[in-house]
Structure 1
C-alpha cells in the first residue's frame, strides 16, 4: 500500500473527519481489524485566518517537502480552501497532491451534472482553484452566491462551523442559498467546506449534494490501494 501524507489543521474538526473516513473506507477493503499507515501534519488554523497568500504558499510547500522526505507517496490536503496552494506547491515536489476538484468533477460527471453551485468560505467561493480545475478538466460550470451573501457564508464557516458549532440559523441560510443557486441554473451543490456536510445532510436538500470530504477521502483510499490492486 502507498503511504499517504495528510495536511490538516485548517480546523481540527475537519482533520478528524478526514482521518475517520479514510480509516473506515480502508477498513472496508483490508478488514476493520487493520488500518492504513498515514503521515499527518496538523498545523495551526491561524495560518489560514491571516490570509497572507505568500506565507500560506511557503508553509504548505515546506510541509509537503517534509512529508515527501518522510516517505509519503502522495499528499492529501484535508480541507477545501488550502487547495489554493496547489499551483504553487505541486510543481516543486515529486509526489502528487490529490486535488479535491478532481474528486468533485468525477462525481459530477457520474451524476450527469454540468453546472454546480459552490458554497463555502470567502476564499473558496471567490477563488478560482476549484472552478478553473472543474472547467479545464471536466467542462463543468460553477456558480456562487451573490456578493452580499458571501460575507455571511464566510462568517458561518469561520466563526461557527470550523469551531464545531452547527446552528439552525446556519442551516436555513445555506438552504436558502442552494435554492438561489438552483434558480440560477445549478443542477447540484458543492459542499465546499469540510464541515458543511456535517450541517446539511442529503435529506435536508432537494438538490444533489457533492460532499467534497467524502469524495476526497474515497480518492485517498483509491490512491493508497492503487498498487496493491493492480
Structure 2
C-alpha cells in the first residue's frame, strides 16, 4: 500500500469530500470497513493562493505549494495531489520544485473524456480556470474543444464559487443561475458534455441534472488516487 499526501484547503469543502471519498473507495475495494488508507493532509490557505495567482505571481504560487508538498514527503508520502483544479495553473512549475510525484487532476479528466468520445465540452470553474489555458490546452491538443461562458457569466460562476460553494453554502437560486448558463452553452455553443471544473461544483451540480455526459473531475481524481494507494 502506498502512502498518499493531499495538499488540502483548496478549498475546505473539497478537502473533506476527498478525505471521505478516498476512504469510501478504499474500503469498498478492500471489502472491509475496518481498514483505512494511509492518507496525510497538509492544509494551506486557499485565499492566499488566489491572491498570488490574481497578481500573476506564479513562481511564488508554485513555491508556496511546493513547501506543502515537501512537508508531506518528509512525513512519508509516496505521492501527492491537490484537491483543487485552480492550483494546477502552476502544476508543472510545482512539480519542478519538489521530488514528490504529483497526480494531476487534468490528466485524469482528459483520459476520461477521451474514453467518452466527447468532442465539445463546456467548462465551469473559477475565473482562473475559465480564462486560462492550463486546463483547456491539453484537451485541445487531443482534439477536444473547450467552451466557456461569456465574460459576465464567468463572473457569476466565479463569484458564487468563491463566496458560497467554497464555504459550503448551497443556494437554490445559484443552481438556477448555473443551469441557465449551461443551457446557453447547449443552445448557442452546442456542447456535448460538461466539465465541473471546480472541485466544489459537485455540491450543487451532478450528472442527474443533465442528459449529456458530465465530468466530475473530483470523482475521477479520487478514483485514480485510490488505485495508486492500493498499488503494490
TM-score interval, normalised by the smaller of the two chains? over 0.9
TM-score, normalization by structure 2: 0.92
1:21 — aligned with what? 21
User: Which of 145, 149, 170 is equivalent to 1:145?
Assistant: 149
- 1:182 is displaced (CA, Å) by 2.1
2:121 is paired with a residue whose SS is strand
1:12 — aligned with what? 12
Structure 1 runs of 4+ aligned residues shifted over 4 Å read: none
TM-score, normalization by structure 1: 0.92
Check the 8 A contact 1:161/1:195 in 2, yes or no.
yes
Quick check: 156-165 or 43-52, which moved more?
43-52
The C-alpha deviation readout for 1:74-124, integer Å capped at 9, x for no partner, is 111011111112011112322321111111112212211122111011111
2:191 — aligned with what? 186
For residues 58-69 of structure 1, what are the structure 2 equivalents within 5 Å?
58-69=63-74
Q: Distance in 2 between matches of 1:18 and 1:163?
A: 15
- 1:159 is displaced (CA, Å) by 0.7
User: Which of 164, 169, 179 is equivalent to 2:168?
Assistant: 164
1:44 — aligned with what? 45
Gaps of 5+ in 2: none
2:35 is paired with a residue whose SS is coil
Q: Distance in 1 between matches of 2:151 and 2:192?
A: 21
Whether 2:93 is the aligned partner of 1:93: answer no
1:190 is paired with a residue whose SS is strand
Whether 2:178 is the aligned partner of 1:174: answer yes
1:166 is paired with a residue whose SS is coil
Aligned length: 226
1:10 is paired with a residue whose SS is coil
Q: CA RMSD in A?
A: 1.5
1:210 is paired with a residue whose SS is strand
- 1:192 is displaced (CA, Å) by 0.9
Q: Distance in 1 between matches of 2:25 and 2:190?
A: 33
The C-alpha deviation readout for 1:108-158, integer Å capped at 9, x for no partner, is 12211122111011111111111122233x332211001121111111100
